[in-house]
Structure 1
Amino acid sequence: MKILAVDTTSGACSVALYDQGQVKERFVRAERDHTRRLLPMVEQVLGESGYSLGQLDSLAVSQGPGSFTGLRIAISCVQGLAFSADLPVVPVSSLAALALGAVRENPDWATRQMPVLAALDARMQEVYWGLYDVTKPGHALLPDQVSSPEQVIASLESAGYVTAGESGVDQGKAALLAAGPGWGYPELAELNPRELLLDAGIHAQDIAVLAADLWQQGKQVSADTLQPAYLRNEVTWKKRERIRPSK
C-alpha cells in the first residue's frame, strides 16, 4: 500500500509517503508560503521514492480542525492531485494525528493506561480538542469538538474521564496525557495532566499512518466529496458572507 499524505493545518508544511509500513517525510516549519512550498515538496517526496503519482493507492490529508486557510490549501492541493491521477482520498482528523505524533515522540506514553487529550488553539478563547486512546491514537474516545477550556473540563467530567474538583495544582494530576498548543490556556492547564507536550505539532507522517488503517477499513472518499471539518461552521459562514455578500 502506498499513500501520499499532505498537511498545512498549522504553522508547518509537511508531505509524507507511506510505503508498505515505511514512512518518509519532509517537514518545514513555515507560518506562510504553504501554497508555494507544497507542490515542490510533493515532487521531492515522490522523486526520492521513485514513484509517480499514478502508482499510488491513495492520497491522504488532514481534514481538520485547524486553520481555515491551512485546511483549504492542503485540501485543494490534494483534490487537484487526486483528480489528475484518478485517486481516492483518505481524510484524517488533525487531532488524531496530533495525538499519534505525541505518542510517537514519547514512546513511554503507550505504556500509560490513560487517554491523550489533543488540543489546538481555536482563537476566541476556545480550543479544538479530541480525546484519544493512547494505545490506538486513531480511536476517538470523545468526538472532536470546539469548546471553551471550561467546557472541555465539564465535558470530561460528564463523560467520567475527570472527577469534579480534580483540576488545579493543589488537587493532584488528572489521569490524562496532554498534547498541543491548545493547552496554553491557563484554564485548561488547571487540569494538571500527568504529562504535557505543549509544542506537539501535526505531521504528515502521522496522517499517513492513520490513513493506512482507515484505507484498510474502506474509509477513502472521492476528491469531489472531500470536505474540511471546520467544527466552527458559523464562523466560516460569516467569513464567506463577508467575502461574497448575498444579493
Structure 2
Amino acid sequence: MTQTVLLALDTSTEFCSVALLATGESSAHTAPEPRIWVRHEQTGAVSSTRLLPAIRELFDEAGLQLADCNAIAFGSGPGSFTGLRTATGVAQGLAFGLNLPVVPVGTLLACAESARLHDPLALRVLAALDARMEEIYWADYAWDETQGEWRTLLPASLDTPERLVLPGVPFTLAGNAAAAFGARLPAVAAARTVDGEALPHALPIAYAALRAFRAGRTVPADQAAPEYVRDKVAQTMAERVAEKAAKAELAAQAAHRTHQGEGQR
C-alpha cells in the first residue's frame, strides 16, 4: 500500500488554517479514511507569522516530514488580497524546495465541499461570501455522483447581493453572505438549507485537493496564482493622491462659485 500525504493551507479569511492529510491506496483503488491533522486559528492580520509554525506543529504531531509530502494545496481565492498572497507564496516556496506539484482550490469550492461534509444531501450548493464594499463573491456548484467531483455551473463572480442567480432546483446556501446581508440576499429565503458554517477552511481544501491530485489536476509551483475575482480594490498611492487632488479642486471650485453667488446678491 502506498501513502499519499497532502498539505493544505488557507489564509483567505481572518483565520490561519492548515490541514495535513495522509491516506493509503490499495491495489483495488479503494482508499481508506485518511488520517487528518488540523490547525484553524483566528489570527486576524498576522496569519503570515503563524502559518509556518502551524505547519511544523502538524508534521511533528503526525510524525511525518515535509519530505513525505506528495503535493501542496492552498485556498486560491477569492478572499483577502493579503491572505491570498500569503498562502500562495508559502505554497510556492514549499513546493519549489521539495519539487512538488501545487493544487490551487477555490475558496468558494471549499465552501461547497464543507457543506457536503456537513450534509451528504448538499449536492447542489450556492456558495456566497461577504466581499465587503456591499458585494458578495459567489459561485454555483453541483456534485456529480458518477464522477465523484464538483461541477462548476457558474464560476466565481462578484456582484451585489440582489444580483445573485438562484438555482432552479433545491440547493444549499453555503458561506457567510447570509449572515452579512440577511433579507438582501434572495437566496436565504429560497434555499433548502443555509449552512453559515461552510466557510473557507484547510480541511475541505485538502479533501478537494486530494481528488484533484489523484486526477492529475495540479500545476507547477511557478504557475500557482491567487484568484482575486475583484481585479482591483486597493488603489495605488498615485491614484489616491490624484483622487485627493481632484476632490480638493472640485471643492475649491464649488467654494469659488458659492463666493461669487454671494457677491452678486
So what's the TM-score if we normalise by structure 1? 0.82
User: What secondary structure is seen at the aligned counterpart in 2 of 1:36?
Assistant: helix
Amino acid at match of 2:126: L
Match of 1:150 among 162, 184, 192: 162
Please state how far the C-alpha of 1:124 moved relative to its aligned partner: 1.8
Distance 1:198 1:18, change over 3 A: same
Which structure 2 residue ranges, 5 or more long, are not aligned? 24-32, 243-265
Deviations 1:204-234 (A, max 9, x none): 1111110011112211111111111001113
Please state how far the C-alpha of 1:89 moved relative to its aligned partner: 0.6
Distance 1:59 1:240, change over 3 A: farther
- Counterpart CA distance in 2 for 1:150 and 1:58 is 39
- Counterpart CA distance in 1 for 2:71 and 2:95 is 8
- Counterpart CA distance in 1 for 2:83 and 2:137 is 15
User: What secondary structure is seen at the aligned counterpart in 2 of 1:233?
Assistant: coil
Distance 1:14 1:240, change over 3 A: farther
**1:33-72 to 2 correspondences below 5 Å:** 33-72=46-85
**1:96-245 to 2 correspondences below 5 Å:** 96-105=109-118, 107=119, 110-111=120-121, 115-134=124-143, 138-153=150-165, 156=166, 161-162=167-168, 175-183=170-178, 184-185=180-181, 186-189=183-186, 191-192=188-189, 193-235=191-233, 238-239=235-236
Q: Is the 8 A contact 2:16 2:41 kept in 1?
A: yes
Please state how far the C-alpha of 1:190 moved relative to its aligned partner: 5.6
Distance 1:83 1:131, change over 3 A: same
Please state how far the C-alpha of 1:149 moved relative to its aligned partner: 1.6
- Counterpart CA distance in 1 for 2:135 and 2:110 is 20
Which runs of at least 4 in structure 1 moved beyond 6 Å after TM superposition? none
1:16 paired residue number: 19
Distance 1:57 1:190, change over 3 A: closer
Please state how far the C-alpha of 1:102 moved relative to its aligned partner: 2.0
Q: Is the 8 A contact 2:162 2:186 kept in 1?
A: no
Q: Is the 8 A contact 1:97 1:138 kept in 2?
A: no
Amino acid at match of 2:157: Q
- Counterpart CA distance in 2 for 1:92 and 1:240 is 31
- Counterpart CA distance in 2 for 1:188 and 1:88 is 38
Amino acid at match of 1:6: L
Q: Which moved more, 1:41-50 or 1:180-189?
A: 180-189
Q: Is the 8 A contact 2:173 2:187 kept in 1?
A: no
So what's the TM-score if we normalise by structure 2? 0.76
Please state how far the C-alpha of 1:111 moved relative to its aligned partner: 2.8
Please state how far the C-alpha of 1:189 moved relative to its aligned partner: 4.2
Q: Greater CA radius of gyration, 1 or 2?
A: 2
- Counterpart CA distance in 2 for 1:115 and 1:145 is 17
Which structure 1 residue ranges, 5 or more long, are not aligned? 163-173
Distance 1:73 1:137, change over 3 A: same
User: What secondary structure is seen at the aligned counterpart in 1 of 2:73?
Assistant: strand
Distance 1:144 1:88, change over 3 A: same
Please state how far the C-alpha of 1:176 moved relative to its aligned partner: 2.1
CA RMSD of superposed structures (Å): 2.3
Distance 1:231 1:33, change over 3 A: same
- Counterpart CA distance in 1 for 2:184 and 2:221 is 39
- Percent identical pairs in the alignment equals 36
